Chain A
Amino acid sequence: MRRVIAFATLALLAGCGPSEPQSSGGPPAIRRLTEAQYRQSIADIFGPDIKVSGRFDPDMRTDGLLAVGTGRVTVTPSGFEQYEAMARNIAGQALDEKHRDAAMPCKPASARVPDDACAAQFLGRVGRLLFRRPLLESELKAQVEVANKATQTLGNFYSGLEFGLAGLIAAPEFVFREEDPEPDPAHPGSQRLTAYSKAQRLSFLLWNTAPDDELLAAAARGELNDKAGLARQADRLIASPRLNDGVRAFFSDMLSFDAFDDLAKDSVIYPKFNINVANDAKEQTLRTITDLLITQHGDYRDLFTTRKTFLSRPLGLVYRLPVETRTGFEPHEFAEGDPHAGLLTEISFLALHSHPGRSSATLRGKAVRELLLCQIVPAPPANVNFSIVQDTNNPQFKTARDRLTAHRSNPTCAGCHKIMDPIGLGLEAFDGAGQFRDGENGAPIDASGEIDGLPFKDAASLGNALHDDPATPACLVTDIYRYASGHDPVPGEKDWMGYLQKQFAADGYRLPDLLRRIAVSDDFYRISPTPSGKPVKEATR
């Protein structure tokens, strides 16, 4: 027996398990910064007290992720008008009397006339952080000239420098993340990202912000093209508390939390639901996620069954629970047998996938399929007569289950609704604002259902079914790669996806381990500028 174990240990040390297949790589991307990335980059570069006020062109959800849409969107005229105004405003704050000493690496010879050397020192330093690479000589020279001219016009060095700085902040090199390929010496004939482009993928994936000074320095030294150097940086970023920001940004995208921006609930039907509840519901879920996945280093699948969460006072009203902490959150564990268990029973999921004045088994079922299992639900046909379905005054159909059964017996609707409604009906014990209820219109709620043939009896057992469904972790792997790379996996990346999914299981579904595997893999940085074939939707089951 001992010999067997010793042999197994040896095999582990030798790196047993499937070997990593070589991916074809996908196309390089040019992606517009999201609002969060823009704000975080500015805060990192100029300090957290710099205010960014303005309207951003809306992001575009593409194939389920805003991150994929960032590779499709551009900047409209009114969007640029805003970028330009924000750039001037940020530059003005960064160089005002309060901030300039911290921002400037030098003092101008005179505060009233141009000092090109000092201007160049400043613009070169922040330009490298803004452009996420050192400025080209021509770029720096142009900005110094702008600053020089402005200083002469305005008679003030700092006011003039503001214009040089604003030009960098409004430039496409800051607003967009560019990726540059180069030949890969380790694999002749194939291409990889340049070191600075690698630094960007790494930093935006793990921290949702631009590379910091140290990462850029590592890129400059060529360390990111070296396995050990890359691993050192990946480990540094993963070990940082800022990994929370990256993980929160990913799940906010995956769970469509941008929809909270225009989430409205009817104040008469759901008097407890207000903006504080909405904000805290989002925060509750993000805290639950980062606590389980990062702090506890837990199993991703447990998100769907965990009874541990965090509550604030506004949430306590909806959960009907006392919350001692006056402002902010406190940990809470729901008792065994409580209807609350897992992400699906949190207000964020229940309220987001409901109508303003009532719950929706259809929307919730659709969200489980699309957001959590990466499956596509077809759009409804054009000429649907819904009146047979939702006559809430019909005494025969008191509950949503009654009404939806009528729906699913209509052959036109049945095809799609039978893949959504039976899942969503498992959450019917929670109303459109996410509050637990015993019945609807005086009739008891039957929250049983089935998901792909697996029957469940209530929300908690639906959570168990999702926990055990292999599509759940497979979807996470695919989504993280799509989020990180900005594209759907192309055929040549399929094997690598399968490999990552297997490794995720072997790692016990630990998210930081998955992130590390992606971050240190050559496949993550491989580029195929003209991939053969169209992107395929990763089959997750």
Chain B
Amino acid sequence: MSMDFGRRTLLKGMMGGGAVMVGLPLLDCFLNTNGTALAAGGRMPVRFGTWFWGCGMTPERFVPHTVGANYDIPVELKAIEPFKDQVTVLTGFQALLDGRSNFPHSSGNIAVRTGSAPDKPGEVKAPTIDVLIGDVMGTDTRFRSLEMTATGDPKHSYSMRNAAVTNPSEVSPLALYTRIFGPEFQDPNSADFKPDPRIVLRQSVLSAIKDHRDRFEAKLGSADKARLDQYFTSVRQLEQQLDLQLQKPPPAEACSIPKSPPDGTVGTDIEQATRNHKLMAELLAMALACNQTKVFNVVFSDSASSLRRTGSSTNHHQLTHEEQIDPALGYQPQATWFVEQSLAAWGQFVATLAAVKEGDGTLLDNTLVFAQSDTQFAKTHSVVGIPVMIAGKAGGRVKTGIHIAGNGDPISRIGLTVQQIMGVTVDKWGTQSMQTGKSIGELIA
């Protein structure tokens, strides 16, 4: 099937505005009725990603009063109001620590993402859900996953196979752009496809490197062997990426190559972070639309948010602990401001995916974004009711637009359900009290 409608000509000149997300619809005859699958049987790709913000929320200002569909919008959820029917809010699920210490800002985050609370600081007992999902659905794209943070620190990443294998975040929009859309990018909609002969040569280099494995296997102890195994796994993954570069990529109708972002500064100033987050979200949306990856992890602010405001001596995290609760308002006004800004960025992220047309729906319709924080109320490091939101319908597999109250159930139920939705064969997930085989039925469409 030729997808060449002369769309390059049509699109020419339209991308000057930076944020313009234009995709020409596939002709309707190619699609099934709900726009999620090509009529020939091939489905639109489904994507999965996480979106993280640090230092939680203010329960009285965040948790909707009504459960089920058409939930009310408390003030801290304001930013998702325009996308309410595409976002499901999950509250009241808890990270069960089984008597272990609550390591501030880490126990809850790790528990949500791995189903296991750490015994000691920095411990990661199981892979995070994005890694588990990426192992299943991330293997047929150029990048198995893409990680990025708006805070300027590559260590701000919660995508981990184990404590020693944390997938580092890209911190600069320009570096992210170059990695995705730089010289090695192959336009899926380009009419002529000529594989670069150098790709085969790079593969031969990697193949020679893989032959070194036996020598290491023979002499290393188990811990070091695992580290070298990871190195060789990484080599194999790059080999697979290169394999894909040798094939003509399937056309991606929503794909249009964005303009290179400016080489700006990065850091924890909230204005800077918001700006970089927006640029990265736009690049990511096009990376998804151009089939460069199906899995992503976005960090807006780190756990124990280090975002700050110019002129203020105290950052978001410090404010959550040090700022008095205003007796008239009933909350910490400055700390809460950061929560609202973080959730505004979340709203913006959702809007960015929703702005990309794909089939007769949007990129968001074919994506599941799992948004989460490290605490419920940061002042007390509460891990009961850590906020989780799910945006996008994952190609029609998720029920959105509802508020689900967890009533103290283990928060691993969410991770289990999300994995099942994304096609991971798992019937039980988590450890100790967090082990669960009970998925959340309301979430499954």
Which residues of A pack against B, CB within 8 Å? 27, 30, 55, 57-58, 60, 72-81, 84, 88, 139, 142-143, 145-146, 149-150, 153-154, 163, 166-167, 170-173, 175-176, 180, 261-262, 264, 266-269, 355-358, 379-380, 382-387, 389-392, 432, 529
Total A-B Cβ pairs within 8 A? 175
Once the chains bind, are B168 and A78 in contact (CB under 8 Å)? Answer: yes
Number of interface residues of B (CB under 8 A): 69
Known interface pairs A385-B379, A386-B321; A153-B197 also in contact (CB < 8 Å): yes
Within the complex, the shortest CB–CB distance from B26 to chain A, in Å, comes to 32
Give CA–CA (A176, B167) in the complex, Å: 18
Chain A: which residue is nearest B233 at the CB level?
A: A77
- A-contacting residues, B155-209, CB 8 Å: 155, 161, 164-168, 170, 175, 197-198, 200-202, 204-206, 208-209
Known interface pairs A382-B102, A383-B102; A76-B168 also in contact (CB < 8 Å): yes
Contact of A150 among B104, B155, B204 (CB under 8 A): B204
| 4 smallest beta-carbon distances between A and B, as pairs | A357-B313, A386-B321, A80-B234, A268-B311
Once the chains bind, are B313 and A355 in contact (CB under 8 Å)? Answer: yes
Once the chains bind, are A391 and B322 in contact (CB under 8 Å)? Answer: yes
Once the chains bind, are B321 and A384 in contact (CB under 8 Å)? Answer: yes
Instruction: Spot the interface stretch: B8-16, B146-154, B283-291, B432-440.
Output: B146-154
Known interface pairs A55-B175, A143-B208, A266-B310; A382-B101 also in contact (CB < 8 Å): yes
Within the complex, the shortest CB–CB distance from B177 to chain A, in Å, comes to 13
Once the chains bind, are B209 and A172 in contact (CB under 8 Å)? Answer: yes
Once the chains bind, are B230 and A74 in contact (CB under 8 Å)? Answer: yes
Once the chains bind, are B234 and A77 in contact (CB under 8 Å)? Answer: yes
Once the chains bind, are B379 and A57 in contact (CB under 8 Å)? Answer: no
Chain A binding surface, main DSSP class: loop
In addition to A73-B227, A79-B234, A390-B322, 15 A-B residue pairs with Cβ atoms within 8 Å of each other are: A55-B168, A74-B228, A77-B237, A80-B238, A81-B234, A149-B201, A153-B201, A176-B231, A355-B315, A379-B103, A383-B102, A383-B380, A384-B104, A386-B318, A529-B221
What are 19 A-B interface contacts by the 8 Å CB criterion?
A: A30-B227, A58-B155, A74-B228, A76-B167, A78-B143, A78-B167, A142-B208, A143-B208, A149-B204, A150-B204, A153-B197, A167-B205, A264-B267, A264-B269, A268-B310, A355-B318, A356-B315, A387-B324, A390-B322
Within the complex, the shortest CB–CB distance from B1 to chain A, in Å, comes to 32
Give CA–CA (A180, B238) in the complex, Å: 29
Please give, as numbers and ranges, the residues of chain A lying within 8 Å of B216 by CB-CB distance. Answer: 172
Within the complex, the shortest CB–CB distance from B323 to chain A, in Å, comes to 7
Does residue B84 face the partner (Cβ distance < 8 Å to A)? no
Chain A: which residue is nearest B162 at the CB level?
A: A74
Does residue B257 face the partner (Cβ distance < 8 Å to A)? no
- A-contacting residues, B370-397, CB 8 Å: 379-381
Within the complex, the shortest CB–CB distance from A150 to chain B, in Å, comes to 5
Contact of B231 among A80, A81, A143, A149 (CB under 8 A): A80
Please give, as numbers and ranges, the residues of chain B lying within 8 Å of A379 by CB-CB distance. Answer: 103-104, 121
Chain A: which residue is nearest B220 at the CB level?
A: A30
Known interface pairs A74-B165, A264-B267, A387-B322; A357-B231 also in contact (CB < 8 Å): no
Give CA–CA (A220, B247) in the complex, Å: 48
